[in-house]
Each structure stands twice: as C-alpha cells, then as structure tokens.
Amino acid sequence: MSRAIRGVKKLQALIQAESQAETARIIQRVQREAGLDLEAAEFYVRSAVLELGSRVLERVLHNVGVGRQDKPRVCADKHLPRKMVSTGVRVKTLQTIVGPVRFARSRYVCPGCGAVEYPGDTLLGVEQTGFSPGLRRLMTRAGLGGAVGGRA
C-alpha cells in the first residue's frame, strides 16, 4: 500500500471515529435540550453537523500550507532574482460553506522588495481573499460577489 493511500485511510478512520463520537454527543444534547421540539432539534443538529464539517475541512487542510517547498521561491519583481525567505506560519480564517475554517500557511518575504507570498493560499485558490472557492461560487450565484468584500 502506498504512503498516500495509507494517509488517506488513516484520515478516513480519524474522520469516522470523530464522526461517531460527535453523533453520540449530538444525540445526547438534542435529547437533553430539545426534547421533543422537532424544530429546535433540527436547528441544533444542523449547526452541529456544519461545525463537524468545518473541523473535517480544517484537518484536511492541516499541513497543506506549511512545510518545505520543492524548490526555493524566487522574486524578480523589478529587481534581480532573489530567494524569498520564510518568516514562519500565519493562520487565517477562511469562510467556507460549512462555516469558518482555520488555515495555517507559511509566509515568504522577498528581502529585496518586501513582496509577500503565501504558497498555501495559491494552492487553495484563496489569495487575497478569506472566502473559500465554494463560498465564492455560492456568493456569485446569489449575486453577492461584489457586495461582500473579499479581502482577509
């Protein structure tokens, strides 16, 4: 079995274990707080499921934006090429269709011109925005693209 497949299986097992534990917790809380109030139960279950979804996304994105680069990042913005320097990890919160998701990614700075890059943002398509691609699609469909600012 390849390392990638083992990694995916491990992640699936983690998600399944978390999901089962979460399901049991949700049932307990619904029984305790909503009783036989179906509407209250519906809203509670929906928010709990979305919360679980955010945590699953967070786990999927864990380590995507950090770690060694295959090749050094180079900036040549109106100057001779210079190697960009990592200045550590910054966390940003992405708004997604299942709610806010924290995303840690490495920050690189050009010592020549001070340009800043986040390769993880490029990888996920969230450069210069705090809105996930899925949420942006929904916003566009709802005609909110321009009305809701995209910076983060």
Binding interface with Zn ion (CB under 5 A)? 75, 77, 110, 112-113, 115
Q: Between 3 and 78, name the residue whose CB sits nearer to Zn ion.
A: 78
Q: Closest distance between Zn ion and the C-beta of residue 70, in Å?
A: 20
Closest by alpha carbon to 125, among 112, 134, 138?
A: 134
Q: Closest distance between Zn ion and the C-beta of residue 87, in Å?
A: 14
CA–CA distance, 28 with 30 (Å, rounded to integer): 6
Q: Between 114 and 146, name the residue whose CB sits nearer to Zn ion.
A: 114
Q: Between 24 and 113, name the residue whose CB sits nearer to Zn ion.
A: 113
Spatial contact of 139 and 131, defined as CB atoms under 8 Å apart = yes
Q: Closest distance between Zn ion and the C-beta of residue 108, in Å?
A: 10
Closest by alpha carbon to 11, among 72, 62, 49?
A: 62
